[in-house]
Amino acid sequence: MSESQVTVQCPCGRIIKDPSEYKLLYLKKEQNEIDILCPNDTCYLRELGFVKFRVDKNGEIKLEKASFYPPFVTWNVARMGREKATKILRDHLKWIYSKGIDWEKIKADLKKKEQSE
Ligand SMILES: [Zn+2]
């Protein structure tokens, strides 16, 4: 398998070889949403996807939805076909929510917020 077949690409041209290259930003705290950003600082799309979660009554975080936005998905489907693109992007999302996001830190943030309210 050649390298281009296992890497995804942002429409801005940036190749993403490994899901650890995405930037994860936890800015939309009120909405419990984490943005998945393109590693290219000058990217015109910037946001490639998101991870949404909720907090149950015990303060445990539950993943609600993790998804990439259509422009990014469509671009990669066009490059490598739907089946392959879907699989790789799914793997990337899995890595992001299982390894990429510092859930402990988010939990600590939420606790802090709770106490200040
Ligand atoms: Zn980009």
pLDDT of residue 98: 95
pLDDT of residue 2: 46
- Ligand 1 centre to CA of 26 (Å) is 18
- Ligand 1 centre to CA of 1 (Å) is 24
pLDDT of residue 69: 98
Q: Torsion over CA of 42, 46, 48 and 49, rounded to 10 degrees? A: 150
- Ligand 1 centre to CA of 13 (Å) is 6
- Ligand 1 centre to CA of 54 (Å) is 28
pTM: 0.89
pLDDT of residue 84: 95
Per-residue model confidence as pLDDT tens digits over 39-63: 999 999 999 999 999 999 888 899 9
pLDDT of residue 114: 78
pLDDT beneath 70: ranges in the chain: 1-5
